[in-house]
Amino acid sequence: MPLLYVAGTFANEVNPIEKVVQMMSDLEQKIIGEGKTAQKTYDEFAEWCEDRSKDLQFEIKTGKANKAELEATISKETATSDALTAKIEDLSADIAADEAELKEATGVREKEAADFAAEQKELSEVIDMLQRAISILEKEMAGGASMMQLKSATSLAQAFDIMVKASAISSADAKMLSSFVQTTNDDSDSDTGAPAAEVYENHSGGVVDTLNGLLGKAEAQLDTATKAETTAKNNYDLKKQSLTDSMKYSNKDMAAAKKGLAESGENKAAADGDLAVTTKALNEDVSALNDLHQDCMTKAEDFEAETTSRGEELKALATAKKAVKDNTAGAADQSYSFLQLSSDSKNVEIVRMVKDLARKQHAPELAQLASRLSSAIRLNHGDDVFAKIKGMISDMVAKLEQEQAEAAELKQWCDKEIAESTAKRDEASALFDKLSTKFNSATAKSKQLKEQVATLQKEIAELAQTQADMDRIRADEKATYDANKPEMEQGLKGIKLALKILNDYYAKEGKSHSSADGAGSGIIGLLEVIESDFTKGLTEMIASEQTAAATYDRETKENAVEKTAKSQDVKYKSKEAASLDKKAAELSTDIEGVKSELDAVNEYLASLDKKCTYKVESYAERKARRAAEIAGLKEALDILENETAFVQTSLRGVRRHA
C-alpha cells in the first residue's frame, strides 16, 4: 500500500496517546459516578438499618416487659393455687371431723331417745295402772265389800294380792306395780314422801294414800325424764345445727376455693401459653437484631473497602494520566505525524477474538456479532470499516453493561425487598400466634363463665321453687295449727270444766246415792287421763309450731342470702363474660387484619420468588459470564483503539520496504 494512501487514510484519526488520556478520563468519570451511586445506595441501606434497629429494640423492650409481667402472673397464680390447695385440704379435714362428730352425736341421741321411749312407756303404764288402782280402791273403800280384806293387809304386796284375787287388777299389773314399788324404795322414799312398801297405816285410806304417793313419784319421774329428754334433744338439735352450719359454710368455702383454684389454673395456663409465644417472639427479635447488626456492619465494611479501592483506583488513574501527558508529547509527534497503518489485519484479529469469546462463553449474541463483523469487513472495503466495527463492538459492550447493571440493580432490589418482606412476615406471624392464643383463652374462659352462669341461674330457679314449696307447706302448717289449736284448747277447757264439776259433786257429803261413787271415780280418772293427753298434745302442738316457724324463718333467711350471693355471682360472671366476648371480637378483628397482612406478605414473597430466583442460571453465574463477555469485547476495543504497538510494528516494515 502506498505511503501517501496510508497517511491520507488516518490523517483525521485521533492520536492514540490522546485516546488513552480520554479513556482514562472517561474511566475516572465512570468510577466517580459509581461512587455516587454506591454512596446513595449505602445511605439508604444505613437509614434502613437504623430504622429497623429502632423497631427491633422497641419490640425487644416491649417483649421483655410482657415477659416479666407474664412471669409475675405465673408466680402469683402458682402461689394462689398452692394457698387454695392447702385451704381445700384444711376444709376437707374440718368437714370430715364435723361429719364424724355429728355421726357420733346422732348415735348418742338415738340411744338416749330409745332409752327415754322405753322409760316413758313403762312410767306411763305404771301411772295408768296406779290411776286405775286408786280409782278402784277409792270406790271399794267407799262402800264395796269385795275387797274388805284390804283393811287387814299389812303390806302393799298383800294389798296387790287381794286386788288380784278380787279381779280388780291383773297379776301382770300387780307384778309391775310391785317392781315399781321395789325400785322406788331402793332409790329413796324420802324424796317423794311415799311410805315404805311393807309399812303403812291400817285404815281405809292407807293403801290409797300410798298409791297416790307412788303415783306422784311416777309422774315426777316421768316429768323429770321428759325434761331431761327435751334438754338432751334441744342440745342435740343445737349441736347438729352448729355442725350442719359449719359443714355448710365449709362446703361453701371449699366450692369457692375449688372455683378459685380452677380460675387460677386457667389464668396460669393462659399466661404460660402467652409466655411461650412472647419468649419465642423475643428470642426471634434478639436474633434478628444481632443478625441485622452483623449484616449492617459487614455492609459498612464492604462499602468502606469499596470506597478506599475506588479512591486508590482514581489516584492511580490520575498519576498514569499525568505521566502520559508529561512524557509522551514528543514521541507521539514522531510516531504518528506522517503515517498510520491500515487496519485490515487488525479487523481480522478482532473477528477471531469475538468468535473465540462467543464459543468460550456459549453466547449466541457474541456469535451473531462476530458474524456481523465479518460481513462488514467483507462488504465494506471502501467505507470506514474500522469505525463501523468499533461502533458495533461498543454497542454490544454498552448493551451487555446495561444488562449487567440492570441485573445487579434487580439483585440489590430483590435482596432488600425479600429481607424486609421476610421480617414483616415473621413479625406478622408472631403477632398472629400471640393474638390467636389470647383469642382462644378469652373464648374458653367466656364459655366457662357462661356455663357457670347457666348453672347458677338453674340453682337460683331451683332455690326459688324450693322457697315456694316451703312457703306453701308453711302456710298449710300454720293454717292447720290455727285451726287445731283453738279446738284443742276448747277441748282441754271442756275436760277441765267436767273434772271440776265432778270433783265438786263427789266431794260433797251426804249424797243419797253413794253407790254411784265408784263409777264417778272411774269417770274422773279417765277424764284426768284425757286431760293429761290433751295437755301433752297441746304442748307438743305449740312446740312443733314454734320449731317449724323458727326452722322456716332460718331457712328462708339462708335461702335469701344464698340467692343474693348467687345473683351477684351471675351479675359479675355475666359482666366478665360479656367483657371477654367483646375482647374476643376485638381480637378476632385484629387477627383478621394480621391474617390479611400476612397473606399479602406471603403473596408478595411468592411473587418475589418468581421474579428474583433464577431457575436456569444464578445471578452470580450470570454476572461472571457477563463480566467475561464485557472484558473480552473491551479487550477487542483496546486492540482497535490502542494502535501504538501494532502501528509501530507495521511502520518498521514500511520503512524497510521504502
Long-range pairs of 98-102 with CB within 8 A, sequence gap ≥ 24? 98/243, 98/246, 98/247, 98/250, 99/247, 101/243, 102/239, 102/240, 102/243, 102/244, 102/247
Q: How far apart are CA 133 and CA 208, in angstroms?
A: 9
Average pLDDT over residues 494-498: 86
Number of Cβ within 10 Å of residue 334's Cβ equals 8
3-state secondary structure 118-140: HHHHHHHHHHHHHHHHHHHHHHH
Q: How far apart are CA 287 and CA 92, in angstroms?
A: 51
Cβ proximity of 265 and 448 under 8 Å: no
User: Is the pLDDT assigned to residue 348 strictly greater than 90?
Assistant: no
What is the predicted pLDDT for the residue at 465? 93
What is the predicted pLDDT for the residue at 192? 39
Which amino acid type is present at position 219?
A: E
47-56, 109-118, 187-196, 322-331: the lowest-pLDDT one? 187-196
With cell 468502606, the residue in question is: 304
What is the predicted pLDDT for the residue at 335? 52
What is the predicted pLDDT for the residue at 96? 93
What is the predicted pLDDT for the residue at 382? 46
* For the ranges 391-400, 466-475, 525-534, the one whose mean pLDDT is highest: 466-475
Provide the angle, in degrees to the nearest 10, between the axes of the packed helices 16-143 and 385-507: 10
With cell 469469546, the residue in question is: 357
Q: How far apart are CA 237 and CA 243, in angstroms?
A: 10
Q: How confident is the model at residue 339 (pLDDT cuts 50, 70, 90)?
A: very low
What is the predicted pLDDT for the residue at 103? 92
What is the predicted pLDDT for the residue at 135? 77
Element (H, E) at 615: none
202-211, 413-422, 515-524: the lowest-pLDDT one? 202-211
User: Is the pLDDT assigned to residue 508 strictly greater than 70?
Assistant: no
Check residue 170 and give left, alpha or beta (phi > 0: left; psi -120 to 50: alpha): beta
Q: How far apart are CA 590 and CA 438, in angstroms?
A: 11
What is the predicted pLDDT for the residue at 338? 40
Provide the angle, in degrees to the nearest 10, between the axes of the packed helices 16-143 and 171-187: 110
What is the predicted pLDDT for the residue at 97? 93
Q: Which residue has the higher pLDDT, 641 or 580?
A: 580
Cβ proximity of 223 and 175 under 8 Å: no
User: Is the pLDDT assigned to residue 160 strictly greater than 80?
Assistant: no
Q: Nine-digit cell at 353? A: 477474538
- Over residues 190-220, the pLDDT tens digits come to 443 444 444 344 444 566 777 788 788 888 8
3-state secondary structure 458-521: HHHHHHHHHHHHHHHHHHHHHHHHHHHHHHHHHHHHHHHHHHHHHHHHHHCCCCCCHHHHHHHH
Average pLDDT over residues 448-473: 91
Q: Which residue has the higher pLDDT, 106 or 639?
A: 106
Q: Which residue has the higher pLDDT, 473 or 518?
A: 473
Average pLDDT over residues 97-104: 91
The per-residue pLDDT of the chain, averaged, comes to 76
Q: Nine-digit cell at 460? A: 337460683
347-361, 536-550, 600-614: the lowest-pLDDT one? 347-361
What lies within 8 Å, CB to CB, of 119 at 6+ separation is: 225
384-388, 483-487, 510-514, 608-612: the lowest-pLDDT one? 510-514
Cβ proximity of 267 and 73 under 8 Å: yes
Q: Which residue has the higher pLDDT, 485 or 344?
A: 485
What is the predicted pLDDT for the residue at 472? 92
What is the predicted pLDDT for the residue at 468? 93
With cell 494502535, the residue in question is: 643
Average pLDDT over residues 252-279: 88
71: exposed, middle or buried (Cβ count in 10 Å: 0-12, 13-18, 19+): middle
Q: How confident is the model at residue 611 (pLDDT cuts 50, 70, 90)?
A: confident
What is the predicted pLDDT for the residue at 298? 87
pTM for this model (two decimals):
0.40
* For the ranges 32-46, 625-639, 644-658, the one whose mean pLDDT is highest: 32-46
User: Is the pLDDT assigned to residue 332 strictly greater than 60?
Assistant: no
* For the ranges 105-119, 307-321, 520-534, the one whose mean pLDDT is highest: 105-119
Long-range pairs of 430-434 with CB within 8 A, sequence gap ≥ 24? 430/277, 430/280, 430/281, 430/284, 431/281, 431/594, 432/591, 432/594, 432/595, 432/598, 433/277, 433/280, 433/281, 434/274, 434/277, 434/278, 434/281
What is the predicted pLDDT for the residue at 386? 55
What is the predicted pLDDT for the residue at 350? 65
Which amino acid type is present at position 163?
A: M
Cβ proximity of 626 and 407 under 8 Å: yes
91-95, 220-224, 502-506: the lowest-pLDDT one? 502-506
What is the predicted pLDDT for the residue at 617? 47
User: Is the pLDDT assigned to residue 45 strictly greater than 60?
Assistant: yes
Question: Strands, DSSP E only, in 335-396?
Answer: none
What lies within 8 Å, CB to CB, of 20 at 6+ separation is: 324, 642
Q: Which residue has the higher pLDDT, 23 or 516?
A: 23
Alpha-carbon 485 to chain mean position? 61
